[in-house]
Amino acid sequence: MTTICAQLQQLDPSRIRGLIIRAGNLRTEELKKIFTALPYLEELYLDSNNIENIPEEITNLSNLRILSLKNNPLDCLPNYIIELPNLETLMLPNHYSFKLSPEIINHLPHLYQVNLNSPSNNDLHLLQDIVQIRDQYFQKSQKITNLIKTLGSLLIELPKVPEVNNYNMMIIHKLKQAFYDLKFVHTRLRNETVIKPDNRSSNK
């Protein structure tokens, strides 16, 4: 694995957007080198590498969208995972002791998919976490719904204001566009899966 790290350091990091290392038995120091050498990574697959801890250097990967940690002996995600602002998909370890933190999930603004590729879907603590995540998600969704209603009511009343000139009409037009954009985003959020259990065998 040291050879792989040395090879990565010889490459142009700005050209590498994805990295797959499986069954490599990565040590913490090797992970630090990878996270430091490849700051532009968008997809990172580290399945089956006997990873017990994720070093803080992972916060260098500010563009990371997909992170796969399946089949590793991690017990939880470190708090500094929330410093990956563009993370969209998490694929997590498959053992009973792994615990998913709702606080971490809710501080990842673009995260919409969490794959639980394991029997740990039946673990009581994990199920409780999933319920909390869903509850908090729908609370946020309700706030967006209320905002859409308020904005819609405002758009109905604005044209009734006396002396509506061209400038005011332009503002109304922009508000309408914002209204429809917000409705589109809201509909998309409601249709997306926040938690997506993956019941496939890890051998597949």
Rounded to a whole number of angstroms, the distance between the first and last alpha carbons of the chain is: 25
Nearest in space to 114 (alpha carbons), one of 141, 144, 137, 97: 137
Burial class (CB in 10 A: 0-12, 13-18, 19+), 12: exposed
Q: What span, in angstroms and rounded, lies between the C-alpha atoms of 91 and 111?
A: 11
- Report if residue 127 sits inside a domain: yes
- Report if residue 109 sits inside a domain: yes
- Residues 106 and 16 both lie in one domain: yes
Q: What is the pLDDT of residue 188?
A: 60
- Residues 33 and 100 both lie in one domain: yes
Q: What is the pLDDT of residue 100?
A: 76
Q: What span, in angstroms and rounded, lies between the C-alpha atoms of 19 and 173?
A: 45
Residue 115 sits in a domain whose CATH number is 3.80.10.10
According to DSSP, the residues that pair with 118 across neighbouring strands are none
Radius of gyration of the CA atoms of the chain, in A: 22
List per-block mean pLDDT (blocks of 10 residues) for the chain, which spans 204 residues.
Answer: 68 87 88 92 94 95 95 91 92 79 80 66 51 58 67 63 61 67 62 47 43
Q: Which structural domain range is residue 154 located in?
A: 140-191
Domain count, the chain: 2
- Residues 94 and 163 both lie in one domain: no
Q: What span, in angstroms and rounded, lies between the C-alpha atoms of 173 and 196?
A: 38
Q: What is the pLDDT of residue 122?
A: 45
